[in-house]
């Protein structure tokens, strides 16, 4: 048995995991997207990549049985792991026994007051986020973390391989979407490494990848109204088969000629599609449309 496996209490061993879960009467929930990360090499890589040493601690979302949590506790001053499924509380109490710098936070990450959590548990931060996110909440969680101006240094998360490509796609590229725009507006994203489906229990039907978003202190472009900027971005990508003008007009209710005029004022063709718009052009478009509102 490797030192890593010993250190994590044998929790990378499927037999050990099944024994622990069975003893606690736990069954995986498809509704909660539960695919526990058990790879003994991936978890230490994630923990090292998240930059825990550069901040006051780590917030983890969905600790599962605690394999990644254990590794985070080795490199972070403090770890707060947010868990929605109360059935896992006694499991985590067992698997993380002795990890005095770990605190399990019961609740839904989409509903908790994260600013208050960071203030109370980390003295206001800054903190980083490191998590094996349930795939069905990947985008909502990332967007919430980025849009609430929380004192974060970075977000290192496991996501579907295809989602990793979309999230990190630069505005102006074919894979870009509204979420990509928000990611690039708030952070500097990068795909760190791929992770095969066999690294999880139960194994998902898709492969995964770990991405890191380095949160920016200042956005790379200036916008007067961030809420409106994101509305315009979502509107532009809402109907991808249409031109940006048609999509924005249909989604936001702005007359098409007005949108086309704003596009021209932003220095782009009136019939451009959203995926060809750069971040700077989207910012200019939002500004032009905002002036005409």
The annotation status of 37 as a binding-site residue, yes or no, is yes
Q: Are residues 107 and 234 in the same domain?
A: no
Q: Are residues 162 and 183 in the same domain?
A: yes
Q: Is 55 part of any domain?
A: yes
- Quote the pLDDT of residue 10: 62
Choose one of 215, 248, 277: the last residue of a domain: 215
Q: Is 181 part of any domain?
A: yes
Q: Are residues 157 and 86 in the same domain?
A: yes
Q: Are residues 232 and 172 in the same domain?
A: no
Secondary structure of residue 177 in the 3-state scheme: coil
Identify the band that residue 104 occupies on the pLDDT scale cut at 50, 70 and 90: very high
The annotation status of 290 as a binding-site residue, yes or no, is no
Q: Is 220 part of any domain?
A: no
Give the domain range for residue 238: 226-292
pLDDT tens sequence across 230-264: 999 999 999 988 999 999 999 999 999 999 999 99
The stretch 55-63 carries a mean pLDDT of 97
Token code pair at residue 211: 């991405």
- Quote the pLDDT of residue 9: 55
Q: Is 40 part of any domain?
A: yes
Choose one of 215, 246, 267: the last residue of a domain: 215
Identify the band that residue 39 occupies on the pLDDT scale cut at 50, 70 and 90: confident
Q: Are residues 88 and 135 in the same domain?
A: yes
Identify the band that residue 6 occupies on the pLDDT scale cut at 50, 70 and 90: very low
- Quote the pLDDT of residue 30: 80
Identify the band that residue 13 occupies on the pLDDT scale cut at 50, 70 and 90: confident
In this structure, the strands spanning 200-201 and 36-37 are antiparallel
- Quote the pLDDT of residue 3: 43
The predicted model scores a pTM of 0.91
Q: Are residues 239 and 197 in the same domain?
A: no
Query: How would DSSP label each residue in 230-282?
Result: HHHHHHHHTTTTS-HHHHHHHHH---HHHHHHHHHHTTS-TT--GGG--HHHH
Mean of the per-residue pLDDT values of the chain: 92
Q: Are residues 126 and 78 in the same domain?
A: yes
The annotation status of 108 as a binding-site residue, yes or no, is yes
Choose one of 215, 247, 274: the last residue of a domain: 215
Residue 175 clears pLDDT 60, i.e. is over it? yes
């Amino acid at each position: 048995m490797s030192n890593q496996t010993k250190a994590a209490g044998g929790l990378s061993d499927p037999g050990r995991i099944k024994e622990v879960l069975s003893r606690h009467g736990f069954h995986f929930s498809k509704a909660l997207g539960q695919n526990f990360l058990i790879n003994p090499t991936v978890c230490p890589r994630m923990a090292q990549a998240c930059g825990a040493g550069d901040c006051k601690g780590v917030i983890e979302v969905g600790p599962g049985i605690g394999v990644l949590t254990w590794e985070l506790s080795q490199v972070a001053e403090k770890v707060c792991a947010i868990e929605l499924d109360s059935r896992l509380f006694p499991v985590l109490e067992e698997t993380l026994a002795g990890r005095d710098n770990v605190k399990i936070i019961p609740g839904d990450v989409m509903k908790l007051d994260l600013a208050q959590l960071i203030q109370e548990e980390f003295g206001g931060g800054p903190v980083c986020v490191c998590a094996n996110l349930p795939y069905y909440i990947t985008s909502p969680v990332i967007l919430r973390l980025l849009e609430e101006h929380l004192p974060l240094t970075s977000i290192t998360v496991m996501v579907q391989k295809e989602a990793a490509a979309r999230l990190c796609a630069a505005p102006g590229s074919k894979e870009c979407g509204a979420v990509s725009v928000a990611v690039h507006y708030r952070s500097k994203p990068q795909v760190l490494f791929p992770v095969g489906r066999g690294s999880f229990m139960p194994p998902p039907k898709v492969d995964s990848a770990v991405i890191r978003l380095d949160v920016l202190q200042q956005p790379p472009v200036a916008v007067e109204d961030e809420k409106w900027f994101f509305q315009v971005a979502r509107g532009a990508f809402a109907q991808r088969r249409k031109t940006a003008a048609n999509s924005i007009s249909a989604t936001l209710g702005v007359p098409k000629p007005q949108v086309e005029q704003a596009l021209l004022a932003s220095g782009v063709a009136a019939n451009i599609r959203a995926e060809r718009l750069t971040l700077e052009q989207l910012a200019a478009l939002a500004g032009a449309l905002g002036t005409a509102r």
